[in-house]
Chains A and B, each alone.
Chain A
Amino acid sequence: MLITRLVYIFMPAAVIMAFHYAPAAAVLGETSRLLYFHVPLAWVSVMAFAVSGAGAILFLVDKKGRFPRSEDTFHNSASLGTLFAVLATASGSVWAKLMWGSYWNWDPRQTSIVILLLIYSAYFSLRSALAGKTARGRLSAAYLIIAMTAMPFFVFVIPRVFPSLHPDPVINPDLKIHLEAEMRLTLIVSVVAFSLLYFYVLEILNRLSRIRDSVEGSHNE
């Protein structure tokens, strides 16, 4: 998809806007610029986990082989989702150090993301332990669907149920983004840039998987 190449324009634009166009927030000061990296990383990780779950459903439902690359898509998307979740956790941890005084506080938000990361780490262990392409595909797809079902609880529900130091998420119960116009625009550009990056890398990984399969196929013949 050529549209994903727009990441080469959007990402530098997002970086420049984050540091020079968006104003510093009133209380958070210059540290508020982390918002334009932390929130998009978290958003992309949720999107990647959702895509991996949807790909897994497609893989299990598709009996006629209409979506031959769905297994690669769900596996690669889960890998990228985990990577982005780790990056979101790291950026959040740096922000916690600046705002709360320590990198890790076992805040409900931090605890829930750790559990989510453990769930997806278990997926990789499960997949690598399974022998046989068919069994591996089916079992890992079933596991990812269960993981996708659990994901919204850890991301959206638990941090709202327990008292947390984490500020209101950008998408809050009011369904409004409580940011100044410049900050909102920067955040949107940043979210688009990181989403494009995700789709671009996913496309590259899927193409690599296809090449690997065709090389392995030609060796087996």
Chain B
Amino acid sequence: MNKILRSALAALVFASPLAYTTPTVIGVIEAPVFAAEARSAEPAPAAPEGDGAVSRVMWIVLVVWLGIGACLFKIDRNIARLERKIDER
């Protein structure tokens, strides 16, 4: 199971550079962003490098979350194993 988790983490880390080259990875749900900007009375200040910077930050946050989530999952499994051992005694 740990191998699977490590592989998933590695895959996400290696996939994150894709965000630099393809800023609209999740382009399907990006339409509301532009719609809302069109609705705003004042134009929102643009990100320094446009939408690519937002995608990059999103990937970093996702990788951080994957690390935390994998840790929690592993701790959860280990605790369950310990609980089983204690109950058997």
A residues lining the B interface (CB < 8 Å): 7-8, 11-12, 15-16, 18-30, 33, 180, 182, 200-201, 204, 207-208, 210-211, 214-215, 218
Residues of A within 8 A of B40 (CB): 23, 25-26
Shortest CB–CB separation between residue B75 and chain A, in angstroms? 6
User: What's the tally of chain B residues with a CB closer than 8 Å to chain A?
Assistant: 35
Residues of B within 8 A of A29 (CB): 44-47
Interface centre among A11, A18, A23, A182 (most CB of B within 10 A): A23
- Inter-chain residue pair count (beta carbon < 8 A): 86
Interface of A is mostly: helix
Known: A30-B44, A204-B75. A182 touches B57 (CB 8 A): no
Asked whether, in the complex, the Cβ of A211 is within 8 Å of the Cβ of B26, the reply is no
Asked whether, in the complex, the Cβ of B58 is within 8 Å of the Cβ of A15, the reply is yes
Asked whether, in the complex, the Cβ of B65 is within 8 Å of the Cβ of A12, the reply is yes
Interface residues of B in 30-63 (CB under 8 A from A): 30, 32-33, 35-37, 39-47, 53-55, 57-58, 61-62
Interface of B is mostly: helix
Residues of A within 8 A of B57 (CB): 19
A80 to B72 Cα, complex, angstroms:
15
Residue B18, interface by CB 8 Å: no
Asked whether, in the complex, the Cβ of A214 is within 8 Å of the Cβ of B36, the reply is no
Give 13 pairs: A residue, B residue, CB < 8 Å, sorted on A.
Answer: A15-B61, A15-B65, A16-B58, A19-B57, A20-B58, A23-B44, A24-B37, A25-B44, A26-B41, A26-B42, A28-B44, A29-B47, A211-B79
Asked whether, in the complex, the Cβ of B69 is within 8 Å of the Cβ of A8, the reply is yes
Name the residue of chain B whose CB is nearest to the CB of A21: B29
Residues of B within 8 A of A11 (CB): 65, 69
Shortest CB–CB separation between residue A12 and chain B, in angstroms? 6
Known: A12-B65, A211-B83. A19 touches B55 (CB 8 A): yes
Residues of B within 8 A of A21 (CB): 29, 32-33
Residues of B within 8 A of A200 (CB): 72
Shortest CB–CB separation between residue B10 and chain A, in angstroms? 17
Residues of B within 8 A of A214 (CB): 86
Shortest CB–CB separation between residue A210 and chain B, in angstroms? 8
Shortest CB–CB separation between residue A187 and chain B, in angstroms? 14
Shortest CB–CB separation between residue B89 and chain A, in angstroms? 8
Asked whether, in the complex, the Cβ of A24 is within 8 Å of the Cβ of B62, the reply is no
Asked whether, in the complex, the Cβ of A24 is within 8 Å of the Cβ of B72, the reply is no
Shortest CB–CB separation between residue A140 and chain B, in angstroms? 24
A208 to B81 Cα, complex, angstroms:
12
A210 to B83 Cα, complex, angstroms:
9
